[in-house]
Amino acid sequence: MSKPTKSHGRLSIGASLKPRELMSDTPDLAGVWKAKILTLFPEAFPGVLGESLTGKALQQGLWQLETVDLRPFGIGKHKNVDDTPAGGGAGMVLRADVLGDAIEHAMQGTAGNWPLIYLSPRGRRMDQQMMQTFARCDGLTLLCGRFEGVDERVLEHYGIQEVSLGDFVMTGGELAAQALIDATVRLIPGVLGNQASTEEESFSSGLLEHPQYTRPADWKGRAIPDVLMSGHHGKIAEWRQDMSEKITQERRPDLWAAYQARKSKT
């Protein structure tokens, strides 16, 4: 029998390590955004999500986290969750029957706008607009792949959306899932405690964020730009806009082109 993971927070994280008939349900907080994670490594959560502001928000019940262990849904004495690829090839593939049972278990009780997502290098790359969309959902169910991936029929049958952390391959989807949750949860009202922070940071306006400074005023012969010490809010805002545009143009020509295109339409 699998050892249950520890609970974190006030009714905010639950561990679904067994099929429903062998477990008791974890109460939900009504109307609170929730992430459900399908994974072979439930002990990896909450991980860094349990720290700092996201961890505090989890404890306060501003969002919820539930892990569903794929292993108990495995087949046979050894609870196998994977098999060799049809047609041959290296590695192993997560089985459709195993994933189907786990997904249907995880999706019980979900309602409203609740996407089902597979963390995959084939998917659309994560961006701020995507996170803003996810933050407006009622919750997300995230499937973390392992080995060579998952049976394609599962993705087709459940209409699963594939999402990628970037153009590289990882050993599993757990780290990508944590990145997605972190970037989404921080947009939920009350999590950061300062809504202006999310409005002014990188990507919110389609540009990279301007440079930031704090005390001391002079460090190793490098002084804070005079305009930031002037107290002239109009000039400070203008400087920050100019710097955001300059940095974006230099470092992310793709973002700069999209920004210019949007400006030309207004």
pLDDT tens track of the chain, all 266 residues? 444 444 444 444 555 544 433 323 446 788 999 999 999 999 999 999 999 999 999 999 999 999 999 999 999 999 999 999 999 999 999 999 999 999 999 999 999 999 999 999 999 999 999 999 999 999 999 999 999 999 999 999 999 999 999 999 999 999 999 999 999 999 999 999 876 565 655 676 889 999 999 999 999 999 999 999 999 999 999 999 999 999 999 999 999 999 999 999 87
Identity (one letter) of the amino acid at 5? Answer: T
Cα→Cα distances 173→27, 125, 149, Å: 26, 14, 10
Give the pLDDT confidence score for residue 169 in this predicted structure: 93
The separation between CA 134 and the C-alpha centre of its own chain, rounded to angstroms, equals 9
Q: Indicate the SS3 state at residue 122.
A: strand
Query: Would you state the pLDDT for residue 42?
Result: 98
174 vs 155: CA distance, rounded Å: 18
Sequence-distant (≥ 6) Cβ neighbours of residue 36 within 8 angstroms: 66, 67, 68, 106, 110, 139, 140, 141, 142
Pairing between strand 82-83 and 93-94?
antiparallel
Instruction: Kindly tell me the sign of the dihedral angle through the C-alpha atoms of 244, 247, 251, 253.
Output: positive
* The pLDDT value given to residue 193: 81
- The predicted structure's pLDDT at residue 205: 81
CB 157 within 8 A of CB 100: yes
DSSP 35: E
pLDDT score at 198: 57
pLDDT at 189: 94
Residue type, 107: M
CA angle 112, 115, 119 (to 5 degrees): 160
Please report the pLDDT score of residue 20 as a whole number: 35
The pLDDT of residue 204 is 67
Q: Looking at residue 9, what is its pLDDT?
A: 44
The pLDDT value recorded for residue 191 is 95
